[in-house]
Amino acid sequence: MLVRQNLAEPNQQVSPFAFQMLYKIAHIISCAFGPRFMLVFWPLGLEWRLMSPVAGSKKNREFDPITFLATIGEGRKSLTAAKKQGIFTQGDAADAVFYIQKGQVRLTVVSKIGKEATIGILDAGNFFGEGALAGQSVRMGSATAMSECQLLRIDKKAMMVALHREHAFSDLFVSYLLARNIRYEEDLVDQLFNSSEKRLARVLLMLAHFGKEGVPETVVPKISQETLAEMVGTTRSRVSFFMNRFRKLGFIHYAGGEEGGLQVHSSLLNVVLHD
């Protein structure tokens, strides 16, 4: 059975960044799944080829990744991380993949001169640390709990066995990797062509899960303006300026209480869509 997904049309240019990320993902997939998947590079495009039949659609619909990950046996460990607790640090051994059952995790990277940047905030249902499957010997960044988290730590060997054994799980993991790559490319385009105001609006909407399946979580957990500035790629003063503007226009609202969450309204989409 052959499944083809064009990732670049013949009349579109694929950025070197996209090729680099796709090559990394291809390496993860080839290491984990063996001959089941093959990435074909065409002169002006890319495609995935599935080399063996996919499991039945009913099985895919009934597959529960949380239940499966909780029962894969040896090599799995449940962890609880308190708010602001480090999960792993840049430079640590990359020997496991993590799955978020509950909470939020912040991914950061520190440059050689000591400058820190936030490269992502992940919610329940996301994996992180998957670079271990691509041959990374050490962590390229750090992961910290932004709230109380419940995690599953799956050893590299156990994860590889699980991906080979359960085709529904491997299909889900491939979908996750491709979605993550699309996000990276969107972030790059956003950084290159959009103003800092639009980038901030997009970050807030993504944190509130607008555009994803299910009902948006309009209240974003407390997040500092310094972190937002790192994610947007601008200064804290610019973030403060735009946040005050969004508040005055009714796009956002600061919730009270100890958590101090931020309420994001769908009207903020007007900032992203406005030329």
Percent residues over pLDDT 90 in the chain? 30
Percent residues over pLDDT 70 in the chain? 70
User: For the ranges 94-103, 155-164, 218-227, which has the lowest average pLDDT?
Assistant: 218-227
Res. 273: pLDDT tops 70: yes
Res. 274: pLDDT tops 80: no
Q: Determine how β-strand 252-254 pairs with β-strand 262-264.
A: antiparallel
Res. 54: pLDDT tops 80: no
pLDDT in tens, 167-216: 888 888 988 889 888 888 888 888 888 899 999 999 888 888 776 654 55
pLDDT in tens, 214-255: 455 566 777 888 889 888 888 999 999 999 999 999 998 887
What class is the 64-165 domain? mainly beta
Q: Which two tokens stand for residue 80?
A: 């609880």
CATH topology of domain 1-52+167-193: TATA-Binding Protein (3.30.310)
How many Cβ atoms from other residues are within 10 Å of residue 162's Cβ? 21
Q: What is the pLDDT of residue 32?
A: 56
Q: What is the pLDDT of residue 218?
A: 63
Supply the mean pLDDT for the chain: 77
Q: How far, in Å, are 197, 199, 239, 268, 269 from residue 272 at the CA level? A: 8, 8, 15, 7, 5
Q: What is the pLDDT of residue 89?
A: 96
| Mean pLDDT value of segment 86-94 | 96
Res. 13: pLDDT tops 50: no
What class is the 195-273 domain? mainly alpha
Q: What is the 3-state secondary structure (H, E, C) of the chain?
A: CCCEEECCCCCCCCCHHHHHHHHHHHHHHHHHHHHHEEEEEECCEEEEEECCCCCCHHHHHHCCHHHHHCCCCCCEEEEEECCCCEEECCCCECCEEEEEEECCEEEEEECCCCCEEEEEEECCCCEECHHHHHCCCECCCEEEECCCEEEEEEEHHHHHHHHHHCHHHHHHHHHHHHHHHHHHHHHHHHHHHCCHHHHHHHHHHHHCCCCCCCCCCCEECCCCHHHHHHHHCCCHHHHHHHHHHHHHCCCEEECCCCCCCEEECHHHHHHHHCC
Q: What are phi and psi of 266, to 5 degrees?
A: -60, -20
Res. 67: pLDDT tops 90: no
Task: Report whether 223 contacts 207 (CB < 8 A).
Answer: yes
Q: Indicate the domain borders of the chain.
A: 1-52+167-193, 64-165, 195-273
Res. 149: pLDDT tops 70: yes
